[in-house]
Amino acid sequence: MRGINFLSGCAAAIAVLGTSSHVTAQTPLVRGALQDVSPARLQSDVARLADFGTRHTLSETASETRGIGAARRWLRDQFQGIADATGRNDITVELQRFIQPPNYRIPEEVELVNVVMTVPGMLPEARDRVYVVIGHYDSRNGDAMDFEGDAPGANDDGSGTIAVLEMARVFAPRRLDATVIYMMSAGEEQGLLGARRFAQVALEEGMDIQGVLSNDIVGDPSGPDGRSAPTEVRVFSEGIPMYPESGEMNMIRQLAMESDSPSRQLARFLDDCARRYATDVRPRLIFRPDRFLRGGDHSAFNEQGFAAVRLTEVYEAYDRQHQDIRDVGGRPYGDTAEFVDPEYLAGVVRLNAAALGEMANAPRPPRCNIVITGLETTTTLEWNASTEPDVAGYEVVWRATTDWRWTHVEDVGLVTSHTIDLSKDNWYFGVRAYDREGHRSVVSFPGVDRQ
């Protein structure tokens, strides 16, 4: 046994039991990316985006200064500038267009356009793995169908859109093993249209999307009545798949894995990264698919079976969300840029960046099983060996069945099975891979192998 650490950060336990601290282990690449996040740039970019007046999905596209067309051309140009500065010729920046037929919020056929930058992975064996960071660049005001009135959408979702842009800026010059897609979606407010289209095509084309981080309303930590949560952001994750495959619900019930979906492992991973990089903004994990009875772009990826989570500030200010700009008795309404806090937004971006840099550089999470040979008090896990050449080893993690996060970890080295002296009756287990620099993958939850 190489040493067991308590992830909870109990110093005495680490000193007695540990060989290295998993709580504070950081990699230079990710630490450097976090340092490059610029609150001043975030602030000016959010204000610039809000200045297009409205980015309603049905707003005009011919003007160079107002409407969703001008906004997306500006966003594309930002992406292109980032891509050009790298000197790489394999980065693509696209306006991905499709025709959206009428629906309850689309009165007549309209062209929708996602703004997408794809940065291929630098490790050939990892290039097929894709991570998506997404924010929706469309906006709305009090009337979901008002395509002419002002809808600056500074926070919803200018904040998430600019978060995506900033992540592209800090990571494009850096070497990531896996492929990252930076995406600004259209039509979220009209029914998740841009994200759904993208996710459907991705599934049809067999794109191996391993994780999606959707940032939607992440710029304003203050809420109504003086409430504020400047050091937290909510992370929503589904526990049960939206459209389970045949037999999947039965397996979830048999293995009691109703809180161990890939999306939930991704949410826990964000929490783990926040602890390791001591980010100013920490995730508050909410174990439900979204806010009560609501949905967002991550839901469109969940629909297709992809792991996807949503980040949203703790207190939403409804005076400023989906509101016409106006003043009622001295009380301002409307989603204007002055209410976006650049330091808070930078904190959310750093949290995203910690997770993105870690999972894109770590080896693919192993497919693992709990091996059953008979009744026994120990637990044996086995997993497939990584095909990525920089894999340096694996860690087994576990937690009590009532715990929300992984609390224990054992570094088991470069092996493909391990027996641990704890009963699978009483604990949940998982396996993750790490590379030579110490980037760790998202935890993989085991199935069963009856021998």
List of residues contacting Zn ion (CB under 5 A): 156-157, 216
**Sign, CA torsion 318/320/322/323:** positive
Helices 39-50 and 342-361: crossing angle in degrees, nearest 10, is 110
- For 400-446, give the DSSP string: ETT-SS--EEEEEES-SEEEESS-TTTEEEEEEEEETT--BPPPBPP
Between 150 and 156, name the residue whose CB sits nearer to Zn ion: 156
- Evaluate whether 232 touches 354 at the Cβ level (below 8 Å): no
SS3 call for 1: coil
Smallest gap from Cβ 169 to Zn ion, in A, equals 22
Give CB contacts under 8 A, 24+ apart, made by 284-288.
284/229, 284/232, 284/233, 284/234, 284/235, 284/314, 285/234, 285/235, 285/237, 285/404, 285/405, 286/234, 286/235, 286/236, 286/237, 287/237, 287/239, 287/259, 287/404, 288/236, 288/238, 288/239
Query: What is the DSSP pairing of strand 326-328 with strand 331-333?
Result: antiparallel
d(CA 221, CA 227): 9
Smallest gap from Cβ 71 to Zn ion, in A, equals 15
Smallest gap from Cβ 392 to Zn ion, in A, equals 40
Between 216 and 382, name the residue whose CB sits nearer to Zn ion: 216
SS3 call for 288: coil
Between 150 and 216, name the residue whose CB sits nearer to Zn ion: 216
Between 216 and 390, name the residue whose CB sits nearer to Zn ion: 216
Smallest gap from Cβ 156 to Zn ion, in A, equals 4
Between 157 and 388, name the residue whose CB sits nearer to Zn ion: 157
Tokens at residue 136, please? 């929706």
d(CA 295, CA 216): 11
Smallest gap from Cβ 54 to Zn ion, in A, equals 15
Between 156 and 238, name the residue whose CB sits nearer to Zn ion: 156
Between 155 and 444, name the residue whose CB sits nearer to Zn ion: 155
Smallest gap from Cβ 142 to Zn ion, in A, equals 15
Between 157 and 410, name the residue whose CB sits nearer to Zn ion: 157
Smallest gap from Cβ 196 to Zn ion, in A, equals 14
Smallest gap from Cβ 304 to Zn ion, in A, equals 20
Closest CA to 116 of 184, 213, 55: 184
- For 348-364, give the DSSP string: HHHHHHHHHHHHHHSPP
